[in-house]
Each structure stands twice: as structure tokens, then as C-alpha cells.
Structure 1
Amino acid sequence: MSIFKISELSKKTGINIETIRYYEKIGAIDKASRGENAYRYFSQHAIEQLEFIKTCRSLGFTMQEIKAFNQLKQNPNQSCVIADKLVASHLAQIEQKIQQLQTIRALLHTMSNCQQDSVDKCKVIHSLQFAPTLIEEGIKLTPIRDKRSKKDKKRSPKLLK
């Protein structure tokens, strides 16, 4: 049976050491055994657990949902109705988000390519002034988190002062 220190586990899974410690703390993975040197030692099963978590996270599941999936895995003879409900609920949220993003995309397409000489005639600025009206009419525009790296954010165009 293979035993891995946390640094080895991190390298094998591509998951940050602090994140592994967090997953251990909340019970998402098995507790590590401790050596005389106080190092954490994990089994091959921890790698499987972390890969499962990574897959779930890449599909957008929350840690609470992942914990529910893990509990289901502990009872292989249990009905998979709960798993189906978790997936259906998540899928509904994704469908709603897709619709929201398509609305935002359509709005941004109508705003783009202004080609006006002055801001008072700018289609972008004019459209943004009507965004509150769109929100009142039921188009919910939620901010989308910027997932660019800090380096990429520094390359973003700056407003003129």
C-alpha cells in the first residue's frame, strides 16, 4: 500500500496543500495518519477522494453537494434518487445561468462597436443608462467573477484620467 506525504499528494493531484488540509479538516477526505515527525501521511484512497472532489468541483458542484455524493458512495446499496436530485438541481441552476449569460451577451452585442466621436452620443454609455430599466423588467444582471490572473488584470485597459 502506497503512503504519501501531503506535498506528494499535492503534486500527484494538482491540488494546493492548504486546500488538502481544508478538505481533511471538513471531512471531505479521510484523516491522514501522523508519523513520529508529525508529518501527515495519506493513502492511495486519499488520491481517489481528491480526484473525485476535483471532478465534482470542475462540474461546479459545491462542497456541500460533494459531501452528499461522498455519503452516498459510503452506502452503495442505497437508491441513487438523491444523486439524481442533486444533479437535476445543479443542471437547473446551470440552465438558468446560461439563459442569463445569453441575455447579457445579447445586450453587450447591441452595445458594442459604438464608433461615435463623443461620449454624449456613445451607444455603450447610452445603453448602460437603460440597464436599470432592463433589471426592473426582469432581466437579472448578476456580476460575473473575473477569473483572470492578477497578471492578466494588470494588462486590462485603463481609463484615462
Structure 2
Amino acid sequence: MKLSRLVGFAGLFLLVPTLVACGDDSGEDATSETTAVEATTTTEASAFPVTVGDLTLDSEPQRIVSMSATATEMLFAIGAGDKVIAVDNFSNYPAETASLEKVDAYQPNVEAISALEPDLVIISYDPGNLVEQLNALSIPVFAA
């Protein structure tokens, strides 16, 4: 069951970069470039809201806290690494994670996570009812 949810999450983040990649980059003239950008923006916006299990995202997450090393690697692999603002202590790949804020996935500090102002938190398990606590603060959580 967890694998299917993780695959659903990966699919969610694969969809947006795929749609962006469909834009016209032939560079024929300024008018066609503007049209391609407008079309891409419209396509991206129409990809949301997205529902995965009990979680509904109204817009593409811009500030992600990943509390799972596997999820962190997947986010960077699908091109969403620039949206990751904090990772757990075991997320050490790719190298870009070294400069990110660290959070403890085993004894999470809800206040510290909330202070990062994430619009999505990804966890691999729920220690101490973390999902409930973050949801009470209106922070969406995806449990992979």
C-alpha cells in the first residue's frame, strides 16, 4: 500500500515537469515564444488541484519539507529539488541537500517545522501523531 502511495506522489511531481517540457522551444519569433509560455502556464495551472489519497493540493507545492531520505532523492530526481527547503538528518543525497535546513524525522519538532512555512511536508511514517499536529496548523502532509 505504501509503495502505491509513493508511486502516486512521484506521478504527481512527474506530471508538472512533463507538461512544462511540452512547450515549444523552437525560438522562431517572439510571438510564438510568448504563446508557448502562455500555453505552458495555462497547462501547469490546470494540473491542479490534485488529490492523492486523503491529501488534496490546490496548487503546486513551492516549499517542501522532506522527512524521508527516499522521498528527498525522488524529489531531486524528478526535478523538484529547487522546491525542497528542509530535509531529515538522513537525506544526504544528492549533494545539494547538504546546504538545506535539517529536521529530525524520528523526534520531530512541530514548531520548528511550522516555522519553515512549508506548503507540503512528506513523511515516511507518523511519529507522535505528526500528521494530526501539522494538519491542525493547516500544513498538508503526505505520508509515503
TM-score by length of 2: 0.30
Question: Relative CO higher for 1 or 2, CA cutoff 8 Å, sep ≥ 6?
Answer: 2
Q: Which of these two proteins has the greater Rg computed from alpha carbons?
A: 1
Higher strand content, 1 or 2: 2
Higher helix content, 1 or 2: 1
